[in-house]
Structure 1
Amino acid sequence: MLTAEAYKYCCTANDRSVIRRTPRRSVTYCIIETTMTLIETESQWLSTIILPKILASGRLLDNYSESKADTFRVGDIDVNVIGPKEAFMLTLCYRTTIRFEYDGEQYERKMVVKKTPMVPPDVYESIQFGDLFGNEIDFYTKILPQIQKVADGKFAAPKYYYSELNPCSAVVILSDFAENGWRVTKDRVGLSLEHARVAVKYLGKFHGFTYAIKHKNLEKFKELTENLKESRYANDTIHPQYLVTLKASVQRALLAVATYQPQVDEDFVKKFVFLISDSVKYGRQRVAPREPLATLCHGDYVRNNVAYKYDDKEEPQEIMMFDYQTLRVSSPMIDLSVFLAISIYADVRYTHFDSIFDDYCTALYDSYRKHTKDEVPEFMNRTELLKEYIRFLPYSVSITSCFLFELVEPSGLSSEEMFKNEMSDEKVIERTMKTGGELVDREIANQLKEMFELSRKYNVPIEDGIDVDALPKI
């Protein structure tokens, strides 16, 4: 489940003709028929190919014995496709309930299957599906076990069952965390203060784990992270239609701040526009690991990729992150800045910023001290982290500008429909500029105002750490 990358995916499809040229009623019947065929195909694939492999791995049953493998019988398989109304996704993703018999006993397992869609090889490559799935597989098979050692087995994560990484396809199968009371929030954006506090405390705790691994055993840290691939800025070429979206999103930001926050200095806004006008060159520099703050980060810590547990009053108590496809070694502020930009509105973020930031820092420091038995290094003090947060604000605000509207007013298209949905440049511009209306405009303007105020207050230029000579002039 991706966020900023998701819109990029919509703009990289090669065949965009089918849905647009087909009558709406025919499309509905086609989708129903396709879904039924998909369920049958996936059930057969699970039953005959995948489940025997998971059984043989020992992950399906704790009491598995090869001598009793012939007693394994697959029964009913339910498949429930996760649609766009629940989450914005690029992949084929579904929940499945599997009933089976082993050694005379009946069992049931609930899983989530995530697969790459059927796309041409050039599209598969342009979206970097191989790198995205490779990172996630690396997390569950290599990195998570080490984190669990540091966390005494208390790091919340779905159970890993199976994965494949092929030249033009990939799959990851995990446990269904809903079975244990976890769920994604009903709201796509604008989470409450309570949700924000739980999220940033957990994030601080996670970064405390990863710093502890790095500082106690640097060689082990390098070994764990050496195979992670750049999954967002590896390609220099941007699809032309995505470029249209990016340019339109910059114009929307300019109009929004001029309309709703006109006090923001014009030269400051121009500097922001200059930085983000080439999202690849700027983004590649911004997320590059820089010492001493670099550590292991989620890379896409947003509402779509976290699940909460609630008490009987529906107050959030715990949180668990998932979808580790954009895992990277970078500044921890990539996670904090993007979460606060994409998942929290200004009425919560701006009003309570200091206490939210304190929550993150306190959790980070407590986690670090607990797992290293050492004091927190000076370069991780609150002031230094806040300055780093400010450096990442152009990055997070640029994501808000080009993607928030999709969360506020989603298109409702599945990944399959996205591939077949043809859209002219004019339509792309219109959708980017207008979708979400005043709510989105005000939020973008507020984020620019917050960036301006923090930059001035703490004397941190937003281009700090960026080689501006390497960026194209506009």
Structure 2
Amino acid sequence: MEVFERNVYADLLSHEEWCNIITKKLQTSGFYLVETNIGPLSEDQMGFMGDHLKLQATVLLHERNQKQKLEFFAKSVPMKNKVFQEYVETIQAFKKEVGFFSSLLPDLKKYILKSKQTLDDEDNSSAHFWTCECYLSKPDIIVLEDLVALGFQHTDSRSPMDYDHCILMLQTLARYHAASVIFEQRRPKISTSGKACQIIDTYPHIFFETEWVTTEGHPGNRFMKASVKGMMSMLEHLPNYGRNYKNFHVICKKLPQTVEQMCEFVKPSTKFRNVVCHGDLWVNNIFFRYDESNTPIEARFVDFQLIRYNPPASEVMWFLHLVTRKHFRESNMDAFLTTYYQSFSSELLHHHFDADLLVSWSEFTESCNFYRNAGRMAAALYFQQCMMTGEYLKNVFSDPNHMTMFQLTDKSQYLIECYQNDPVFRERNAEVLEEMIEYCILNK
């Protein structure tokens, strides 16, 4: 007798919620809901902070008396893996993303749209959005626009981005960061001092750290320590700073406290102006749309479960170190930073603000130098996971015992296996780990 697995996602949305989602999508309530379906987007491990889902609905349009099929993308709290579910709920990552889409994003858009009504050129590139539309956001599920259905796609998750993709993404990122400044400048002041309000004060329920924390026993702290153990396991195999390096013992001693500096880097700066940062801009969280010649013409980013309030330079450095190789990045760094700041300044100017008075070029470049080591450390930490093959990740995360060991205890056995057997994993991880050692530990 054949046994059918129960669809654990079937009850996440009520009939009324389905209708509200479709009404927002079609901008009309003139339809009859014929059929709905909700299920996993893929059998592969698509995300690390929630389950990725595909929603389908068939409606009968009253006006034309014809059926139309609609598709949506959704994220839910982990439903099948209890260890995964407990981890996400404890660090409250899903809560952050729900808060972003339900309250912060509408406010950011509201102030941008309000100011754009006064602009002469409504078709200017600054009007391009930087994420997807949200149709429903509640504690256990977020329903979003399906970017793939709109022609967007990922680049290869284990390949570095080329120049054109980086430039387009930096322009998009600049507009996203500028939205925070516009919000804070246009929103009514919260004090009689005339000082612009800070987003972190307006949304304190969103801006808390989920990953890089020093609190003993916190899942984020346990994850960091498990990652350090993983780094230590790969150290002796490095081509330039391995077991035969004269100061190998110095590296081993300093590495744990060096990584712990991430807990300071992710805090709001008291020196540089802060903006809402995505906090997790690696390849799989970025989508691109292309023209007929396969040139990228639009970028969007998703997954806001790690948003932070940090200087723009913090995010720029993280992004560049997570998506490019060292030589390429250093060769093009001046062009990358200039492109970002020109787009940032242009966006503010369109809204009648002078960037030099809010985040000057000198402040931006100084902060980039300060946060460059944060980018180096982020790459060394992220690549432990991001550079694994999808099949390997699927095997690790499908077993609760392996997942607990990997996420919260000790990554060593998994990283060494990949380092020895996967040339891409080995090359990319050796490069970022050696760069972190060179600049953050040996200070060369």
Which region of structure 1 is more displaced relative to structure 2, 246-255 or 196-205?
246-255
RMSD over equivalenced CA pairs, Å: 4.0
Q: Is the 8 A contact 1:301 1:339 kept in 2?
A: yes
Match for residue 32 of structure 2?
72
Q: Specify which of 279, 287, 294 is matched with residue 314 of structure 1.
A: 294
State yes or no: 1:402 paired with 2:421: no
Q: Is the 8 A contact 1:246 1:402 kept in 2?
A: no
Offset at 1:309?
0.6
Deviations 1:14-73 (CA, angstroms, capped at 9, x unpaired): xxxxxxxxxxxxxxx99xx54xx43xx645755746414546xx52542327xxxxx733
Q: What letter is aligned with 1:230?
A: E
Q: Specify which of 71, 74, 77 is matched with residue 116 of structure 1.
A: 77
Task: Label 1:137 to 1:171 Cα distance change in 2 as closer, same or farther (>3 A).
Answer: same
% identical aligned pairs: 14
Q: Is the 8 A contact 1:216 1:372 kept in 2?
A: no
TM-score between the two structures when normalised by the length of structure 1: 0.72
Where do 5+ consecutive residues of structure 1 fail to align?
Answer: 1-28, 66-70, 463-474
Q: Specify which of 172, 177, 185 is matched with residue 147 of structure 2.
A: 177
State how 1:39-118 maps to structure 2 within 5 Å. 42=9, 46=13, 48=15, 50-52=17-19, 54=21, 58-64=23-29, 72-75=32-35, 77=37, 79=39, 81-84=41-44, 87-103=46-62, 105=65, 106-118=67-79
State yes or no: 1:393 paired with 2:375: yes
State how 1:66-465 maps to structure 2 within 5 Å. 72-75=32-35, 77=37, 79=39, 81-84=41-44, 87-103=46-62, 105=65, 106-118=67-79, 124-128=85-89, 131-148=92-109, 149-150=111-112, 152=116, 154-165=128-139, 170-217=140-187, 218-219=196-197, 221-222=199-200, 224-228=202-206, 229-233=208-212, 236-237=216-217, 243-253=225-235, 255-256=237-238, 258-259=240-241, 269=251, 273-277=255-259, 279=260, 282-291=261-270, 292-377=272-357, 380-381=361-362, 382-400=364-382, 402-406=384-388, 411-413=392-394, 417-419=398-400, 421=402, 428-436=411-419, 437-447=422-432
User: Aligned partners of 1:365 and 1:265: how far apart in 2?
Assistant: 45
Q: Is the 8 A contact 1:214 1:295 kept in 2?
A: no
Offset at 1:423?
8.4
Q: Is the 8 A contact 1:369 1:376 kept in 2?
A: no
Q: Is the 8 A contact 1:350 1:450 kept in 2?
A: no
Q: Is the 8 A contact 1:405 1:440 kept in 2?
A: yes
Q: What letter is aligned with 1:197?
A: I
Task: Label 1:358 to 1:129 Cα distance change in 2 as closer, same or farther (>3 A).
Answer: farther
Task: Label 1:264 to 1:157 Cα distance change in 2 as closer, same or farther (>3 A).
Answer: farther
Offset at 1:202?
1.6
Q: Is the 8 A contact 1:337 1:389 kept in 2?
A: yes
Q: Considering Cα pairs closer than 8 Å and 6+ residues apart, tell me whether 1 or 2 has the greater RCO.
A: 1
Q: What letter is aligned with 1:405?
A: M
Match for residue 17 of structure 1?
none
Q: Is the 8 A contact 2:155 2:287 kept in 1?
A: yes
User: Aligned partners of 1:223 and 1:54: how far apart in 2?
Assistant: 30
SS at match of 2:53: strand
TM-score between the two structures when normalised by the length of structure 2: 0.76
Where do 5+ consecutive residues of structure 2 fail to align?
Answer: 117-126, 188-195
